[in-house]
Amino acid sequence: MLVTSFDEVFNKNKHVVSMAIYKCKIYKNREHYEQIGYIALWNAYNQFNGVEEEFEPYAYVFVKNAILTAMCKHICFMARWLSSGIQKEV
């Protein structure tokens, strides 16, 4: 990978975040998941070695996994929160 600044990489690949959000069918809390995607794009940029693969597919997988992980954590939190609320009412 050529030595480029993150600003250049971000401007060239920010559509990757939108693509991942679209593929995950996110329509609520879109801004929250965009932020998670941008942070994942930053992490992908820092961990990319540039020898074996191109950056865009690598970043897409990285971003999509970060978004799916955040969705799972949110679902698990809501399930625990709702189940604890039901137990207190009984």
Q: What is the pLDDT at residue 85?
A: 65
- Cα–Cα distance, 14 to 26 (Å, whole number): 17
- Cα–Cα distance, 79 to 16 (Å, whole number): 30
Instruction: Tell me the pTM.
Output: 0.79
The 10s digit of each residue's pLDDT in 6-63 is 888 899 999 999 999 999 999 989 999 999 999 999 999 999 887 656 889 999 999 9
- Cα–Cα distance, 65 to 61 (Å, whole number): 6
pLDDT level of residue 87 (50, 70, 90 thresholds): low
Q: What is the pLDDT at residue 2?
A: 53
Q: What is the pLDDT at residue 90?
A: 41
